[in-house]
Structure formats: structure tokens, C-alpha cells
A = this chain, B = another copy of it.
């Protein structure tokens, strides 16, 4: 008996991560309860984000420019290598790191068939001119550690220091969810691989 347009909207909300039927239904009701203007603002924000945001051609983070502001203004002697854009957000909140970022868009996982070709390792190698330190800030799980070791093996022979975040991040948890205190400590205590 549910109007088709309502079912369709609920189906769309269910495509978001970890959203089940009940949550999607609540969201859909909330949206229908909004004013006409608010609802079109919502739809416009979706279309605008999709149209304007893409990956920075240098670091691979989200940006609305060709090269993101960070890549233009950062201290270019240090690169912090992360798996996903959301990990950059976690570091940005710290406010204490002013070097470059490099987003791999994944980590090595041979079981899933993700090798060095599938993530942005080649692009990292083209960015090492003038770089003194590469901080590999992948998650402390099997795939993240393997990626860090792989990158260290490629880059250390070039005479560049390769570091890893200090233990301080609880093993098994994710960078994205680490509180700022812990992440700050992990950054300052980073150690050479």
C-alpha cells in the first residue's frame, strides 16, 4: 500500500553504508516532512557534490580543483600515505600535520586480487622529488601492514626515510575512528621501518 515514490526513496537510502530498512524509512519520512525548498536543497547538494568533486590529480584526495589546495601549499618534504580519503580527514582534524598526503585508494590484499597495480603506488613513486620522509599511515591490520612493508621496500633504497605511525592506535581498530589524542600520539611517536 506504500506509494511507489516512497518505496523508491527508501530503496535509495538503503544504498548508504549500514542503513537497513527501518533507518531508511525514517530518513524517507524525514525527507518528506521537509519543506519543498529544503528537499530540493538536499537533491541539489547531491548533484553538485557529484559534479564538482573528483580526485586530485596529485594526491588522490577529494577536491573541486585540478590539484587540491593541500598539494599546492603543503610542506613538500613529508608525504603521509593513507588508504582512503576519510583517513586524510582524521589527520586534518589534528591540525598538527602540514605535509603532503597521498591516498592509495585501497591496500594490498592478494586474497581479493588487489595488487600494487590496483592501488596508487606508482603515482606515489612519481612524487618523491625533494621528499625526505614518507609516513605510511595505513591501518594496523594485515593488509595495511603488508602495504607499509611493500612501500618501505620500494622507497628506502632511494635514501628516503620511511616511517610508520607509532603503536598507540589500538590494534584491530581503524584510523578513521581513532580519537584525536591517540592519533596525535601515534603521529608524534612514529618510528622508522
Hey, what's the 0/1 contact readout for A45-67 against B, CB within 8 Å counting as 1? 11111111100000000111000
Q: CA separation between A49 and B28, bound complex, in Å?
A: 9
A residues with CB within 8 A of B? 1-6, 8-9, 11-12, 15-18, 22, 25-32, 34, 36, 38-53, 62-64, 68-70, 85-86, 89, 92, 177
Q: A6-B62, A29-B86, A32-B49 are in contact. List 19 more A-B contacts (CB 8 A).
A: A2-B89, A2-B92, A5-B48, A5-B64, A9-B46, A9-B48, A12-B46, A15-B34, A15-B38, A16-B27, A16-B31, A18-B26, A25-B86, A29-B85, A31-B46, A31-B49, A36-B50, A40-B47, A43-B44
